Amino acid sequence: MSSIKDVSRYAKVSPSTVSRVLNGTAPVNSETKKRVLKAVKKLNYQPNAFARGLVTNRSGSIGVIINEISSPFHSAIVQGIETVVEPTGMHLIVSSGHNKLQPERNALNFIVQRRPEALILRLETLSDKEFLDWLRSEPAQTLPIILLGRYIPELSKSCVCLDNELGGYLATKHLIDMGHKKIAHISGPLSMKDSCDRLQGYRRCLETSGLSYDETLVIEAKFTEESGQQAMQRFFDQGKDFSAVFIANDQMAMGALYTLRQLNKRVPEDISIVGYDDLLFARYLYPALTTIRQPLAAMGEAAARLALRALEHKTIDIKQKFEPELIQRQSVLRFA
């Protein structure tokens, strides 16, 4: 692969000059410039990003950690990040933590070794404590770090999040407002903060509305379509009595809808459903899913803006706290 030296030889100039025309860092005689460009084209020269990064100490990249690049939830976030990062000419290094502690640590180290100029982290398994310890270590001192979907008071300036407790509350409130009294819940993994918060909001709403919290009406599932299917099946296997279910994400809701159809239960006539996230597919389900909207792309964008703002030492205002919002569609019916 040709190097800057090859180009310089071909153009009969010094490597310094080649560098200057390529980066526009200093004026170069237009004749010389032409020769260099011709050589670059001729040799199909592509600068070595390693060498460049090593000397400039700028990688041009932003590190991103999410759970699973292939989930629709996370790809909505990545898409938001991409939207704002791409126009700047920087790029993303995204690594999956797979919702497991060691892989998440590995992802972090992996990315740090690539010397990103900023980090956008949606950490799932790393504890606040371990994360704060890491923050105090050297690698983290120098670069802007944005936390997505987690709020750590010490880092409030760098967190982008949404009040999931409120989201869970809103979902449940809507069902109660519609006259439902027996409201089940399919939660995500309770090892995840989001799940706990939504469950907590569900519980609080029940209790402040004079309904009692019944833990046998709660099943913990895994945020996947299939686990939603199974959870819903389990409610019926157990002969539970309920007229509505708040399901902690849309993917599980999609699975649950499927199970209900198998069981010949009509939604919303027999069972009302509220999902969470408002992923793209939610409106296309049948019945169109009533859900709590979480503006994932906008949150990704905000995180990216925050990161860029830190890099550019700007002081523009960026929204960091997002509100969950009830999106009413067709999966909830007033309880008669």
Partner DNA sequence: CTGAAAGCGCTTACAG
Residue 281 to residue 193: CA distance in whole angstroms: 24
- Site track for DNA across 17-56, x = CB under 7 A: xxxx-xx-xxxxx-xxx-----------x-xx--xx-xxx
Q: Which is nearer to DNA, 28 or 327 (CB)?
A: 28
Phi, psi values for residue 219, rounded to 5°: -120, 135
Work out which of 11, 22, 39, 76 binds its own copies, going by CB under 8 A.
76
- What number of chain residues touch DNA (CB under 7 A)? 32
41: Cβ–Cβ under 8 A, 6 or more apart, which residues? none
Print the binding letters for residues 143-162 with DNA: x by CB under 7 A, - otherwise: --------------------
Of the candidate spans 134-142, 167-175, 201-209, 213-221, the one that interacts with its own copies by CB under 8 A turns out to be: 134-142
Nearest 5°: CA angle at 181, between 180 and 185?
Answer: 85
Candidate list 17, 19, 95, 195; residue touching its own copies; CB under 8 A: 95
Enumerate residues 180-199 that contact DNA by CB under 7 A.
none
What is the Cα 86 distance to its own chain's centre? 17
The answer to whether residue 109 forms part of the interface with DNA (CB under 7 A) is: no
Coil, strand or helix at 333: coil
Contact (CB, 8 A) for 64 and 78: yes
And the tokens for 238? 């157990």
Alpha-carbon distance of 121 to 105, in angstroms, equals 12
Alpha helices in 178-316 (DSSP H): 193-208, 225-237, 250-262, 296-312
In the complex, the residues that contact its own copies under the rule CB under 8 A are 1-2, 43-44, 46-51, 53-54, 59, 68-72, 75-76, 78-79, 82, 86, 91, 93-96, 109-110, 112-115, 137-139, 142, 225, 254-255, 257-258, 261, 280-281, 283-286, 288
What are the residues binding DNA (CB under 7 A)? 1, 3-5, 12-20, 22-23, 25-29, 31-33, 45, 47-48, 51-52, 54-57
